[in-house]
Amino acid sequence: MSFPDGFLWGSATAAHQIEGNNLASDFWALEHVANSRFAEPSGDACDHYRLFRQDIALMAELGLNSFRFTIEWARVEPEDGFHSAAAIAHYRDVLEACHAAGVVPVVTLHHFSSPNWLMKLGSWEYAGTPERFAAYCRTVMTELGDLIPYVCTINEANIGRVIRRIIAGGGEGRRAPVEQAPVGLGDGPVEAPAARADEKVSGGQTIFLSAFTDEAFDVITRAHVAAREAIREVSPNSKVGITLALQDVQALPGGEKAADAVWAELFEDFLPAMAGDDFVGVQNYSRIRVGADGVAPLPEGAEVTQMGYEFYPEALGNVLRRAASAGLPMMVTENGIATDDDARRVEFIRLALDGVERCLADGVDVRGYLHWTTLDNFEWMHGFKPKFGLIAVDRATQRRTPKDSARYLGAIARRNALG
């Protein structure tokens, strides 16, 4: 495989899924209510908050040169208006560990979880959230921006649109009955986690994943624009973008108009907010086929993952070509597979990268490939059962064991670094 100099090779994570003990977050609250829909609480997760140096060193040892991780809003601002100097110092340590190891940090400032206090104000349907989010981003980037070359404001800003469409359609892609738990287009859940009264956090509000009204779309897109402006003011050398969950939307005969509508809802409606961004993060896991009657069932005999998706790594190249219409450089900020069969993960990576390589050969501007995910982690409502990681984690001891897929991706990265 041949990739350009400076191409980012790495893996992606989310703070709540790996750090552990995210006590001030909305997800922590939801995991601990009576009759929670979460399979289990996150607890210590992968204890990455303590073991980050070990994890970064292991990634570098494997040959990866980039690491996408979250600076967790609920840790930096656990109470409205109070910014934790200790949390900021911690993330400075993480960033410095990356640089010391020769690993380029790609920082996400919001990855699904929010401070619990935001719920009392109305969450991502509250008109004042963009101002508060931008203020948090300004604080982080004022303190740490000189260490952050790439920053994603909001992870999967379109996930609410995805959820609304799925709820209205009665299910995601009419999945095979392998995995019936609700899932999204990326690695997260689709069903509104706070749908029942006993699962709502204080104030009766729901969370980012449940914010799928038109008001929420306006709040989220305004929050991105406000955050971008704040970041540009205090850290002008940091490249700013957003990430979107994008399936390969394929039209069956008679479904062309419906498929176009799905793509517009997932991607094109966000173009005005993305105008002026430095890049877009593309997150892809599979495809959906859309016919005259809506989303079609999975093909007969299709291989499905632990999350119920069709095994279809060819989707990534298709999505990159289509998303190139935004006119922005692209970075694959998530792409992966939930499986206990690591040989299938190796094959998934191989076929996905074949697609990326063909895109590059045709002039499509792709700057990096960050695999989802670094460690077998807390997979939101599914708990720890789905295995997306390049590195296995023994949760009793927190011992890390790289899989063959980690060595495979790292070897590709090394070969390309050597030219």
Report the distance separating Cα 222 and Cα 273, nearest Å.
7
| Cα 195 to Cα 28, 129, 151, 224, distances in angstroms | 16, 21, 31, 26
Do the beta carbons of residue 213 and residue 125 sit within 8 Å? yes
Q: Which of 19, 156, 334, 379 is catalytic?
A: 156
**What's the pLDDT score for residue 418?**
83
**What's the pLDDT score for residue 2?**
82
Helix/strand number for the chain, H first, E second: 14, 13
Count Cβ neighbours within 10 Å for each residue of 365-376 and write b for 16 or more, e otherwise. ebbbbbbbbbbb
| φ, ψ of residue 376 in degrees (nearest 5) | -60, 120
Domains and CATH numbers, the chain: 8-417 (3.20.20.80)
Report the distance separating Cα 211 and Cα 286, nearest Å.
23
Q: Respond yes or no: is residue 156 known to be catalytic.
A: yes
| Cα 391 to Cα 55, 56, 203, distances in angstroms | 10, 12, 38
Residues 6+ away with beta carbon under 8 Å from 278 = 239, 240, 241, 328, 329
> If you search the block for the tokens 């994890």, which residue do you land on?
55
**What's the pLDDT score for residue 168?**
62
Tokens representing residue 277 in the block: 């961004």
**What's the pLDDT score for residue 150?**
99
38-47 pLDDT, tens digit each: 999 999 999 9
**What's the pLDDT score for residue 281?**
98
**What's the pLDDT score for residue 67?**
99
pTM: 0.94
Tokens representing residue 127 in the block: 């008109």
Residue 210 DSSP one-character state: G
Q: Give the amino acid at 398.
A: Q
- Segments of the chain scoring below 50 in pLDDT: 170-185, 189-203
163-194 pLDDT, tens digit each: 776 666 544 444 333 333 333 345 654 444 43
> If you search the block for the tokens 């900021």, which residue do you land on?
88
Which has the closest alpha carbon to 51: 391, 412, 419?
Answer: 391
402 strand-pairing partners? 391
Half-sphere exposure of 337 (CA within 13 A, CB side): 27
Q: Give the amino acid at 349.
A: I
Distance, CA of 262 to chain centre: 20
Report the distance separating Cα 168 and Cα 364, nearest Å.
34
Report the distance separating Cα 42 and Cα 152, nearest Å.
24
